[in-house]
């Protein structure tokens, strides 16, 4: 199922972002599981707060990293893939 560009992702109540001081990584914790996020995934997950659409998340990250057209396309692909994965795992509302 394709992801709508206007979809406004919000982490599910069962999912929490936590910084693990031992590994120095951000973790997405949910019942009996956890995902260690790389820096890109953590940046995306932090913006999944229910107030931004997928397109707005891409725009904010591209602006933050001063991305040119090629980098913006890469950011767009990363955001869509990550949000789709979270949705498929049931970690979004």
pLDDT of the residue at 23: 92
Mean pLDDT of successive 10-residue segments in the chain (93 residues)?
A: 93 96 96 95 98 98 93 96 97 95
- Put the strands of the sheet holding 33-37 in their side by side order: 16-20, 25-30, 33-37
What domains can be seen in the chain, in order of their start residue? Answer: 16-88 (1.10.10.1150)
**d(Cα 53, Cα 3) in Å, to the nearest integer?**
11
Helices 69-88/54-64 angle, 10° precision: 140
Q: How far apart, in Å, are the Cα atoms of 45 and each of 4, 5, 7, 19?
A: 17, 16, 14, 12
pLDDT of the residue at 2: 87
């Amino acid at each position: 199922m394709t992801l709508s560009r206007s979809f406004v992702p919000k982490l599910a109540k069962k999912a929490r972002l936590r910084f693990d001081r031992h590994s120095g990584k951000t973790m997405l914790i949910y019942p009996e599981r956890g995902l260690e996020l790389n820096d890109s995934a953590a940046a995306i997950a932090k913006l999944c707060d229910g107030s931004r659409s997928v397109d707005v998340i891409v725009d904010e990250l591209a602006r933050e990293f001063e991305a040119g057209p090629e980098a913006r396309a890469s950011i767009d692909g990363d955001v869509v893939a990550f949000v789709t994965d979270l949705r498929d795992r049931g970690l979004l509302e």
